A = this chain, B = another copy of it.
Amino acid sequence: MSKCEQCIVKQFNSLKSLTHEELARISNCKTSRIVKRGESIFEEGETVNGVYCVKDGICKLSKLSANGKDQIVKLVDKGDLLGQRSLIGDESSNLSAIALTDMEVCFIPKSEIIDDLQKNTNFSMDLLKEMAEDLKESDNVIVDMAQKSVKQRLAETLLYLDSQFGTTEDGYLNLSLSREDYANLVGTATESAIRILSQFKKEGLISTSGKQIKIKDLNALKRIE
């Protein structure tokens, strides 16, 4: 199995702050796992008991609302950590993690890394920084959800997918989501998401090919009110 010390992916998350020795120890007890698109990594209510380092692929973090719809709270990319909060408290996860693409993730048991969190200040400071960043981002999402129209939020989602995950050579968004996932990201009914995407298409802001979406007029999307 590949070694954490040599893994480039860790550069993008807090694990980069671990010492060589710490990494070597973790490398020996970590387990790697392939997750197919649509499969879950963990579910709401489950005890996670460790962190996942996303080596490849993208997943969604979502929460089931009272009315039976999933709300996607965050997308997690290659290089990100998953389940940091399990290191801190003992509670079960309040979110589900479900793969949006095929993924490869490494699991590091809490028992193996919890001491490092206590002893390695760089590591804990780094984690603090990431959580502070996440908090800020969450605040922004709250404001958007509360104050912006569904159309605006959907336009912003497209722009976000473009900037975060890029496009293929022929200009389609690398990450293609189902209409239902778009709706669950934006917090609307699936039909509404479909309708607005159709409207964007009609207005020439995007084009589609099956599930794939291509942004044709980025600035117009930014201007949506």
Contact = CB atoms under 8 A, between A and B. Distances in A.
Interface of A: 63, 65-67, 69, 71, 73, 84-85, 88-89, 94-95, 117-119, 121, 124-125, 127-129, 131-136, 138-148, 186-187
Nearest to A69: B147
Contacts of A134: 135
Contacts of A117: 125
A72 to B, nearest CB: 9
Copies of this chain per assembly: 2
A120 to B, nearest CB: 10
A118 B125 contact: yes
B142 A71 contact: yes
A142 B143 contact: no
A145 B146 contact: yes
Contacts of A131: 128, 131-132, 135
B63 A139 contact: yes
Given A124-B121, A135-B138, A138-B139, A147 B65 contact: yes
6 contacts: A84-B132, A85-B136, A119-B121, A128-B128, A135-B138, A138-B138
A187 B65 CA distance: 18
A89 B126 CA distance: 10
Given A63-B140, A66-B147, A124-B125, 19 more contacts: A63-B139, A65-B143, A66-B148, A71-B142, A71-B146, A71-B147, A85-B136, A89-B133, A94-B136, A94-B140, A119-B121, A127-B128, A128-B131, A131-B132, A135-B135, A138-B142, A142-B145, A145-B145, A146-B186
A74 to B, nearest CB: 8
A84 B135 CA distance: 11
A125 B65 CA distance: 31
A143 B85 contact: no
Query: Nearest 7 pairs between A and B by C-beta?
Result: A146-B187, A138-B138, A65-B147, A145-B145, A88-B132, A71-B143, A131-B131
